[in-house]
Structures are given as structure tokens and as C-alpha cells.
């Protein structure tokens, strides 16, 4: 097993009605918060009112800041920082999905920092201090509610950058599966694919494999396969609960700190170019990435086929076994309603060169690398395999 | 999925030579520690010297307290509390297995408490404050290095009691698989069985099952089956590393906060009566418990047989499938060198009534209950099934 450090300090409260605990949980730390949320869907599902009541019952003063959008922007972060400083607020409560929580984290490190908060994303400054963040999750996918990651877009030049630091882990995360019920089918499906991809990136690595981490990854894959379709098409407490907790586990490093992330990086460019959801882009790139790279380690893809998809191992033709696993994954994603090709996603196929060039414009000249480094021609080929 | 709260604030540092980090990790908190250890085997394996050097290099003053034994006792705890108060020490460094770490945790809550530290174990006092504890693990089994549990024996009357509180979670845990190399075969085998039992207790419950938690449990079972024998008989970095990290995961509640613990409770009495190791007693009780209770939920035992032991499901005779799973587990434990019967453990078989009576002398009149409550006659029958 490779060396690692790991902790998960976030206090997870899982269950029905747990959002009513926010007042009490925050009261242990402070009595003044910035209440951050997105488009206002939290008002439709009634969680907004519950939060307000919980805060009031605990005597916590709050200032609201709504309007966080997907691919969160720097402008709103600066507005949040301004409010916190002006009103001496030292706690951010984020109610929403990854975008809201990532915005909250960025405001939280910006408040005690004298310079421009973008400095952390551009590498000019190192994160040392933060004010605490608490999260009430409504969209399971990014694991931002229990991990130390945040992603932000700077409108000036449209730079999208990510951060990772233990300091960014929220102090609490409330997971009530019922809060996902109003999520449109497509978004729940994209979430399941995104969660699958977080495990995928950790499973396909070239460094010494760990039986324990492999088995845990396979357990999460199996759970997504069993519970994903029912979470998407039937909703219901059990299946959405499984997906919600799986989403945290998949991407908070308990399944491993190493990864490839080639499927993610090549997917980001499709999202950016065509405004496709993150999960949607991963449906396209994961399958094509697998077809492009499987020959690098056929045994690994056989293990995936046998242990995750119950494919019978063909000792005369392991390659067939490996490909059957990829095929079954492709069917699974397709059945969730997520396209696995540009054509099915109604996207043009004339931007491959441009997207590949942008993907490698990161100072390295390639993306991925935990399993296989992808250069421009690799990326173009991956896009072609998903044509 | 049932409601739960979970966090794992302990910072885990996994890898070769990580014990050299102790000085630096402690320096972030304080510059004076109590260095607690057991019988002195840490001197033989060289870790003692490394710890001393690391503390010195970081300019940390330390006072040593050795001599912690299995089934740790209150007397040494009180000695530790005394030293910490006298020398204004506010950090405990525990180097050893569960007994050393549990002793450290108890000293740590005793230092800021004005009354008798046993009050926490007897239920007279509630844990509110502690001084921090850091752990360097040499015996993987109890998960005390990352969980909030501690077990202690009060010599006056020989009461053995347990505590559980988030406050008891260590601030860091150092896991270097090499530190287990000198552990005798039998103890490593007993550890593997103990870890297996921690997953077992969470897997066999009657409340609504979670696919995710079941799959994660099955992943840890599979890892123990694959890596356990090699950790016992060959030692080596990979297998002992898998077991070491599995031991934390198995019993720090990431696999679920609910459990039965009937196998543990009935095993404790055998350990107490015949001074048998904890893992040794579990080899006897787990198999017999399974034979006593499997009819309560044959489907569950079939899942265990099929998913953990690769038994082919017999649709004409599911009971046969269930029993085959139990049989394979028994063989596995036996092959590790751990007896599964009183006879094989060279223990007398005339104390069943007495042990059963003592087991239920807990104010409840039964033990277990997450899967099945065990009354006196159940416990006697379990012992008989292991005769």
C-alpha cells in the first residue's frame, strides 16, 4: 500500500430532518452566520424555512446571500467576503450542492486573508486560516461536504481552478436524503455518474494496488450499480440515501489519495465548450478513456469486469473479458439516461483538436498520469472513440 | 439507511518510517509529553529509540511511563494522571497496541477531571474535556488509534468497562506496517480474527440494511481473507499494511454505528475465565454464535456465504448455502492457527453455566441484540456448540 495521510474531521449527521440541527450545531461555535445558497430551489423544497427557523430558535443572527450558480464565480465570493467583514461574521452555512459549498469555502478562506482571494487559486498564496463552514447537502456528487476541495471560476479570462487543503474540510455536513427528491432525473443521473467517476479515477492507477482500497472501491461501484437506477427513476429514501453517503465516501480520500483523473480532465473541456453538465461529460469520457487505455493493463480491466460487473473471466481471451466490463459500464450509464457519445448528447464532433489543445494547456503538456499520461493525440483519440 | 453521525478527525499517517514524524506532529500542539508504552518490546524493535530521537530533535521534553499490560489497569492510569499534573504535561503519546492507547485515553480524560477517573467508566461522570492523545500503532486490532473507544479494568473487584466518546479520538495515528513484524504469529492471527469480528458484528444486524455499508463490510472481509494468512505466516509490508489499515476501518464506525456484539460479549467471558486472548475467544464464539442464530435470518447468512465466501447459492436449499458460509469461515480461522472450539483451545468445558451467568449480569439480563438478544440459555448453547 502506498503512503498516505487521511482524516475526515467533518461531523456527518445523516437522516431525516437533520437540517433542523443547524442552529444547535452552529451555536456551539458562534451566533452570527452568512447563510449561502443557490438559485432558490431550497425555498421550493421547504428546507429554506426549516433552516431559518432552526437558526432563529438557537438565537443565531444571519445574513442571506443567494444566487450561487453551477461553476461558481469569483464575483459572488468577493461579495460574501465583503459582507462577512462588514458584519463581523465568522461562520458560513452553505445549503445546496457542490457549487454552493465550494463558494462558501472560498469566502471562508478569503475573510481572514488580506490579499485577493484568487491568490489561493493562482498559487500565489498558501491557505493557512479559514473561518468554519457547515454544509447542508441537497445535491450529492462532489463530496465537497466532507472533503478539502473547492473549484472556482474567475470571470476575468474564465479561468477555472481547483484547491485542496485539510483546512477546507467543513466542520459539519448534514445529509438528509429527502432533500434530493426534487432534483430533476437528469441531474440525479449525472450525480451517479460523477460519483462512479470519482471511484473510477482511484481504481485505475498504476502504482502498487491495495487489496483493501480495491475492495472498498468495488463495494461503492456495486452500490451505485444496485441503487443508482432506483435513485434516478424511483427516488425514495433508501436509494437516495445510499447515493448520498456514497458520494461523500467516493471523493473524500478514504478510497485512496492517488488517482488518474484523465477522464475528468478530458471531460472538463467538453463541459466548458458545450456547457454540458460535469456528470454528462464523464459519461462520454470514461467509456472512451477506457477503450483508449485498457491495453496498458488488461488484468486491471479484467478485475473491474469480473468483480464489478460479474463478467465470467475468459482465460483464453482476457481482452474479451476486459472489453465486456467496459461495455457493461457503458450500458449502465446509458440506462441512467446519460449519453456516452457526442452524437447521443447532440454535440458537434468538430471541436476535438481545439478541446485537446486546451486540455493540455496546463504547463505540463499532458493530463492524467496516475494510469496513463494523455497527450494531445491521446485526447483527440478519446474524443473520436466517443464520436 | 439508518440515521447516524460520523467523523474521523484523527490524522492518519501511513507508511514506512512515519514514526519519525511524532516530534514534529506534537510540536504543533505542545512541547511536553508523557511517553506511554507497554512491556518494552518497542525497545527491541527499535521504535523506542526513533521516538526518543524524534522528540529530542523537535525539542520536546518527555517523561516515560512503561509497563502497560493487556487488559490495562486503573492503577497505571492514576500514576500517569499524577505525573501529568505534577509536571504540567498536556499531551500523551501512546506507542503500542490497544491497551497502551486505551490507557493513554483514560489518563488524558483524567488529567483535567477533579474526581476519580473511574467515574467515567462507572457512569458517574460524563466526558467533556481531555488533553490530546497521539498514537504510534504496533499491534493492529482494536482501532483505538482512530476511534473514540477505551476499555479499562478496575483491579478492585476486577470490573472491566468500556467508554465511547468523540472526545476520545486521538489527534494523530501513525501506522507503519513494519512495526508489526516482531509480533508473534499467534498474536497477528488473533488480530486478524478480532478485525474480522468487528466487521462481523456490524454486518449481522436486524435493522434496515444499507447496500453501501454491506458492500464496504464485504470488502473488508474479502481483504482479511486474501491478506490475513500472508500477514500471519509471511509477514511482509504489503499484507501487514492491508491488515493495519483494515483494523482502523473495521472499528471506527465508517462501516456502520450499529452492531450486535453478541460474539464479543460471550467471548469476553471466556477471556476473563481462562485468560485467553480477545481474538482467540472470538474464534470460538463467532462460529458458534452463527450456528446458534442463523435461522433468524437465513437470507442474511446466504448473502455472507455468497458475497464473502463465493459459495454458489443453492436455491433448493438456502440453509445449506448459509451453513457452507459458516463452515468456510471456521476453516479460515482454523487455518490462521486460532482454535474455534474449547477442545482445540485446550480449555475445560465445565464453566458454561458460570460464564453465561456472568455475561448477563449487566443489568439487562441479556447480551447482544442488534441481531438477536442472547439470554442465559442462548449463551450456554453457544458455548456447547463450540465444545
Q: Poorest-confidence range of A103-112, A356-365, B54-63, B209-218?
A: A356-365
Q: Poorest-confidence range of A18-22, A197-201, A320-324, B207-211?
A: B207-211
**Are the beta carbons of B4 and A18 separated by less than 8 Å?**
no
In a domain, A4, yes or no: no
pLDDT score at A157: 64
In a domain, B4, yes or no: no
Question: How far is B191 from B142, CA to CA, in rounded Å?
Answer: 8
Mean pLDDT over residues B365-384, rounded? 97
Q: Are residues B149 and B263 in the same domain?
A: no
Indicate the residue among A131, A151, A179 that finishes a domain. A179
Of B211, B210, B246, B212, residue with least CA distance to B226: B246
| B113, B116, B119, B124 alpha-carbon torsion, rounded to 10° | -80
Q: Count the Cβ atoms, other than its own, within 10 Å of residue A184.
A: 8
In a domain, A5, yes or no: no
pLDDT in tens, A249-281: 999 999 999 999 999 999 999 988 998 888 999
Indicate the residue among A179, A197, A225 that finishes a domain. A179
pLDDT score at A73: 84
- CB-nearest to B7 from A3, A9, A220 is A9
Give A158's pLDDT tier (boundaries 50, 70, 90): low
In a domain, B5, yes or no: no
Residue A90 clears pLDDT 80, i.e. is over it: yes
Residue B157 clears pLDDT 70, i.e. is over it: no
**Are the beta carbons of A18 and B12 separated by less than 8 Å?**
no
As a whole-number percent, the residues of chain A with pLDDT over 70 amount to: 99
- Of the two residues B158 and B114, the one the predictor is more confident about is B114
Q: Count the Cβ atoms, other than its own, within 10 Å of residue A182.
A: 14
The CA distance from B10 to the nearest CA of chain A, in Å, is: 6
Q: Scanning every residue of chain B, which has its alpha carbon at the shortest distance from the alpha carbon of A6?
A: B12
Q: Are residues A116 and A188 in the same domain?
A: no
Are A101 and A10 within 8 A, CB to CB? no
| Number of inter-chain CB pairs under 8 A, A vs B | 113
Using the Cα atoms of residue A51, residue A53, residue A54 and residue A60 in order, give the sign of their dihedral. positive
What phi and psi, each to the nearest 5 degrees, are found at residue B236? Answer: 95, 155
Mean pLDDT computed over every residue of chain B: 96
- Of the two residues B161 and A262, the one the predictor is more confident about is A262
In a domain, A342, yes or no: yes
Q: To 5 degrees, how large is the angle CA B195–CA B12–CA B110?
A: 80
Are A258 and A2 within 8 A, CB to CB? yes
Q: Are residues A170 and A211 in the same domain?
A: no
CATH of the domain at B353: 1.20.1090.10
Question: How far is A34 from B136, CA to CA, in rounded Å?
Answer: 40
pLDDT score at B70: 82
**Are the beta carbons of A223 and B211 separated by less than 8 Å?**
yes
Residue B159 touches chain A, beta carbons under 8 Å: no
pLDDT score at A159: 72
Mean pLDDT over residues B103-132, rounded? 96
Residue A241 touches chain B, beta carbons under 8 Å: yes
Chain centroid, CA A57 distance in Å: 33
Question: How far is A258 from A267, CA to CA, in rounded Å?
Answer: 19
Q: Are residues B285 and B370 in the same domain?
A: yes
| Residues 6 or more apart whose Cβ sits within 8 Å of residue B211 | A222, A223, A226, A227, A242
Indicate the residue among B179, B195, B216 that finishes a domain. B179
Q: How far apart are the first and last CA of chain A?
A: 38
Beta bridge partners of residue A32, listed in sequence order: A61
Question: How far is A332 from A196, CA to CA, in rounded Å?
Answer: 11
Question: How far is A133 from A226, CA to CA, in rounded Å?
Answer: 33
**Are the beta carbons of A9 and B6 separated by less than 8 Å?**
no
The CA distance from A285 to the nearest CA of chain B, in Å, is: 26
Beta bridge partners of residue A4, listed in sequence order: B14
Are B293 and B371 within 8 A, CB to CB? yes
| Residues 6 or more apart whose Cβ sits within 8 Å of residue A52 | A35, A62
Question: How far is B45 from B240, CA to CA, in rounded Å?
Answer: 16
Question: How far is A363 from A246, CA to CA, in rounded Å?
Answer: 34
User: How many distinct structural domains can be found in chain B?
Assistant: 2
Give A164's pLDDT tier (boundaries 50, 70, 90): very high
| Residues 6 or more apart whose Cβ sits within 8 Å of residue A175 | A12, A13, A14, A15, A18, A137, A140, A145, A241, A244, A245, A248
Are A89 and A33 within 8 A, CB to CB? yes
DSSP string, B156-197: TTTEEEEEE-GGGS-SEEEE-GGGGTTS-HHHHHHHHHHHHH
Contacts of the segment B306-314: beta carbons below 8 A, 24+ positions apart: B307/B218, B308/B218, B308/B221, B308/B222, B308/B225, B309/B225
pLDDT in tens, B225-250: 999 999 999 999 999 999 999 999 99
**Are the beta carbons of B210 and A241 separated by less than 8 Å?**
yes
Residue A159 touches chain B, beta carbons under 8 Å: no
**Are the beta carbons of B1 and A227 separated by less than 8 Å?**
no
Which chain A residues touch B220 with a CB distance below 8 Å?
A: 212, 215-216
Mean pLDDT over residues B49-78, rounded? 94
Are B215 and B230 within 8 A, CB to CB? no
Question: How far is A18 from A20, CA to CA, in rounded Å?
Answer: 5
Helix (H, G, I), strand (E, B) or coil at B268: helix
- For every residue of A329-381, which 3-state class applies, written as one string? HHHHHHHCCCCCCCCCCCCCCCCHHHHHHHHCCCCCCCEECCCCEECHHHHHH
Q: Are residues B209 and B111 in the same domain?
A: no
Q: Are residues B205 and B129 in the same domain?
A: no
Are A174 and A18 within 8 A, CB to CB? yes
Q: Are residues A15 and A160 in the same domain?
A: yes
Q: Which of B2, B7, B178, B312 has the most A C-beta neighbours within 10 Å, making it the best mutation to test the interface with A?
A: B7
Q: Which of A4, A7, A228 has the most B C-beta neighbours within 10 Å, making it the best mutation to test the interface with B?
A: A7
As a whole-number percent, the residues of chain B with pLDDT over 70 amount to: 99
Q: Scanning every residue of chain A, which has its alpha carbon at the shortest distance from the alpha carbon of B171?
A: A7
Question: How far is A283 from B299, CA to CA, in rounded Å?
Answer: 35
Give B134's pLDDT tier (boundaries 50, 70, 90): very high
The CA distance from A32 to the nearest CA of chain B, in Å, is: 24
Which chain A residues touch B203 with a CB distance below 8 Å?
A: none
Q: C-alpha cell of B298? A: 437465513
Of A39, A158, A47, residue with least CA distance to A100: A39
CATH of the domain at B33: 3.40.50.1970
Q: Are residues B252 and B325 in the same domain?
A: yes
pLDDT in tens, A124-150: 999 999 999 999 999 999 999 999 999
Rounded (to 5) percent helix, strand, coil in chain B: 50, 15, 35
Residue B222 touches chain A, beta carbons under 8 Å: yes
Mean pLDDT computed over every residue of chain A: 96
Q: Are residues B137 and B231 in the same domain?
A: no
Q: Are residues B197 and B135 in the same domain?
A: no
Burial class (CB within 10 angstroms; exposed 0-12, middle 13-18, buried 19+) of A137: buried
Q: Are residues B240 and B172 in the same domain?
A: no
Largest CA distance in chain B: 70
Using the Cα atoms of residue B205, residue B140, residue B309 and residue A249 in order, give the sign of their dihedral. positive
What phi and psi, each to the nearest 5 degrees, are found at residue A244? Answer: -65, -45
pLDDT score at B362: 86
Are B247 and B144 within 8 A, CB to CB? no
Supply the range of the domain harboring residue A341.
183-385
**Are the beta carbons of B223 and A238 separated by less than 8 Å?**
no
Question: How far is A382 from B104, CA to CA, in rounded Å?
Answer: 55
- Of the two residues B61 and B363, the one the predictor is more confident about is B61
Give B218's pLDDT tier (boundaries 50, 70, 90): very high
Q: Are residues A210 and A64 in the same domain?
A: no
In a domain, A248, yes or no: yes
Question: How far is A195 from A220, CA to CA, in rounded Å?
Answer: 9
In a domain, A189, yes or no: yes
* Alpha carbon distances (Å) from A286 to A51, A87, B98, B235: 38, 46, 43, 38
**Are the beta carbons of A215 and B223 separated by less than 8 Å?**
yes
The CA distance from A98 to the nearest CA of chain B, in Å, is: 20
- Of the two residues A153 and A55, the one the predictor is more confident about is A55
| Portion 4-33 of B in contact with A at CB < 8 A | 4-16, 18
Question: How far is A245 from A365, CA to CA, in rounded Å?
Answer: 36
- CB-nearest to A3 from B3, B14, B222 is B14
Mean pLDDT over residues A373-381, rounded? 98
Mean pLDDT over residues A103-108, rounded? 98
pLDDT in tens, B9-39: 999 999 999 999 999 999 999 999 999 999 8
DSSP string, A75-88: HHHHHHHHHHHHTT
* Alpha carbon distances (Å) from A265 to A173, A359, B294: 27, 7, 49
In a domain, B2, yes or no: no
A184 in the Ramachandran plot: left (φ > 0), alpha (ψ -120 to 50) or beta? beta
Amino acid at each position: 500500500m502506498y503512503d498516505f495521510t487521511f482524516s475526515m474531521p467533518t461531523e456527518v449527521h445523516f437522516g431525516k430532518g437533520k437540517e433542523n440541527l443547524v442552529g444547535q450545531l452552529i451555536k456551539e461555535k458562534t451566533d452570527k452566520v452568512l447563510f449561502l445558497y443557490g438559485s432558490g430551489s431550497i425555498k421550493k423544497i421547504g428546507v429554506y424555512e426549516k433552516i431559518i427557523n432552526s437558526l432563529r430558535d438557537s438565537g443565531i443572527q444571519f445574513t442571506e446571500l443567494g444566487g450561487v450558480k453551477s461553476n461558481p464565480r469569483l464575483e459572488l465570493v468577493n461579495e460574501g467576503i465583503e459582507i462577512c467583514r462588514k458584519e463581523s461574521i465568522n461562520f458560513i452555512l452553505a445549503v445546496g450542492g457542490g457549487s454552493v459549498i465550494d463558494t462558501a469555502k472560498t469566502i471562508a478562506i478569503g475573510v481572514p486573508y488580506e490579499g485577493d482571494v484568487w491568490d489561493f487559486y493562482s498559487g500565489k498564496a498558501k491557505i493557512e486560516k479559514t473561518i468554519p463552514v457547515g454544509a447542508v447537502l441537497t445535491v450529492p456528487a462532489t463530496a465537497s461536504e466532507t472533503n478539502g476541495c473547492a473549484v472556482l471560476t474567475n470571470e476575468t479570462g474564465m479561468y477555472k481552478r481547483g484547491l485542496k487543503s485539510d483546512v477546507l474540510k467543513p466542520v459539519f455536513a448534514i445529509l438528509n436524503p429527502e432533500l434530493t427528491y426534487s432534483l430533476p432525473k437528469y441531474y440525479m443521473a449525472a450525480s451517479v455518474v460523477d460519483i462512479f467517476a470519482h471511484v473510477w479515477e482511484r481504481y485505475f492507477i498504476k502504482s502498487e494496488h491495495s487489496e483493501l482500497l480495491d475492495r472498498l472501491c468495488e463495494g461503492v461501484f456495486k452500490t451505485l450499480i444496485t441503487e443508482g437506477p432506483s435513485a434516478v427513476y424511483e427516488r425514495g429514501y433508501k436509494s437516495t440515501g445510499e447515493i448520498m453517503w456514497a458520494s461523500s465516501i467516493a471523493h473524500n480520500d478514504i478510497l485512496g489519495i492517488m488517482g488518474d483523473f484523465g477522464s475528468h480532465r478530458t471531460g472538463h473541456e467538453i463541459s466548458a465548450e458545450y456547457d454540458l453538465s460535469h456528470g454528462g461529460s464523464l459519461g462520454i469520457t470514461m467509456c472512451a478513456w477506457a477503450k483508449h487505455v485498457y491495453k496498458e493493463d488488461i488484468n486491471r480491466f479484467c478485475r473491474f469486469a469480473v468483480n464489478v460487473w460479474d463478467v465470467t473471466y475468459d482465460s483464453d481471451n482476457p481482452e474479451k473479458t476486459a472489453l465486456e466490463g467496459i461495455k457493461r459500464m457503458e450500458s449502465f450509464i446509458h440506462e441512467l439516461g446519460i449519453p456516452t457519445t457526442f452524437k447521443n448528447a447532440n454535440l458537434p464532433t468538430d471541436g476535438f483538436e481545439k478541446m485537446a489543445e486546451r486540455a493540455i494547456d496546463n504547463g505540463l503538456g499532458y493530463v492524467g498520469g496516475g494510469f496513463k499520461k494523455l497527450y494531445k493525440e491521446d485526447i483527440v483519440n478519446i474524443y473520436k472513440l466517443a464520436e
